[in-house]
Structure 1
Amino acid sequence: MAGNAIEAADASPCQSCGACCSYSANWPRFTIEDDAQLDLIPAQFVNARQSGMRCEGDRCSALSGKIGEATRCEVYAVRPEVCRTCLPGDAECAMARRRHGLPLIASAQPD
């Protein structure tokens, strides 16, 4: 059973991190989404100005779990574009992981 948990973390380091979703209340902003895409995000996760995700402090309200251990996005399938563009090991990931005292991870390099 422990092997499966390790394999899952290796397959998606984001599921054992969540740092990018708890970095800044100003980061999870809507940018290129159209109204139909935004309507798919449950209202309780959208801020009062409807300009981005609602945050509790610096943490996105759609993030559940403990940073650096096990996290998940409650709206993963309909998350905003800004959330989709942050990739494991990229500059934004590294910045967020440093802020939370987590070790950096290697970014995936194209073949």
Structure 2
Amino acid sequence: MLSQMIAQDACLTCGACCAFFRVSFYWAEGEGMPEEAVEAITPVYSCMKGTNQKNPRCIMLSGEIGQQVSCTMYAQRSSSCKDVQAGDEQCHKARAGYGLIPLIEIEPAYPSNDEDYDQVV
């Protein structure tokens, strides 16, 4: 999994997951959300408005996919929004749908021959 800081920065410039999937959840989760943000699917399930269509895009997503985005109700987002994590399978699928490269964790390269030498910082 990507480090928390990298993941947060990646999500602020991406937003693909908010405009690729239908964001559905148990109806009761919508109780704390703005009324204009939620759409009923069945008596049991609701979704974020804008995501239950052929070209989904959550109406609470602000900004341009792959450039700069934000969720205008981030603190109240559903469990299905919280389930998608930067660099996971769902993230990669949504990013690919927008032609964005996958997020991967890269281990920093540490020199192997610097034990007895001063470092220039």
- After TM superposition, the runs of 4+ consecutive aligned structure 1 residues lying more than 2 A away are 8-12
Per-residue deviation, 1:100: 0.2
Please tell me whether residue 38 in structure 1 is matched to residue 30 in structure 2. Answer: yes
Q: Based on CA coordinates, which of the two structures has the bigger radius of gyration?
A: 2
Give the aligned length: 96
In 2, the alpha carbon distance for the partners of 1:102 and 1:67 equals 10
**3-state SS of paired residue (1:30):** strand
Per-residue deviation, 1:48: 4.3
Partner of 1:28: 23
1:55 to 39, 50, 53: 50
Deviates more, 1:38-47 or 1:76-85: 38-47
- The structure with the greater share of residues assigned to helix is 1
Per-residue deviation, 1:12: 2.4
Any unmatched runs of 5+ in structure 2?
Answer: 107-121
Check 1:11–1:87 CA distance in 2 against 1; reply closer, same or farther (3 A cut). Answer: closer
TM-score, structure 1 normalization: 0.76
Contact 2:7 2:86 in 1 (8 A): no
Structure 1 vs Structure 2 CA RMSD = 2.3
Check 1:107–1:92 CA distance in 2 against 1; reply closer, same or farther (3 A cut). Answer: farther
In 1, the alpha carbon distance for the partners of 2:82 and 2:75 equals 10
Check 1:38–1:84 CA distance in 2 against 1; reply closer, same or farther (3 A cut). Answer: same
* Structure 2 counterpart of 1:67, one-letter code: I
**3-state SS of paired residue (2:46):** coil
In 1, the alpha carbon distance for the partners of 2:93 and 2:56 equals 14
TM-score, structure 2 normalization: 0.70
Per-residue deviation, 1:83: 0.3
- The structure with the greater share of residues assigned to strand is 2
Any unmatched runs of 5+ in structure 1?
Answer: 1-7
Q: Matches of residues 1-111 of structure 1 in structure 2 within 5 Å?
A: 11-24=8-21, 27-31=22-26, 35=28, 37-49=29-41, 51-55=46-50, 57-106=55-104
* Structure 2 counterpart of 1:18, one-letter code: G
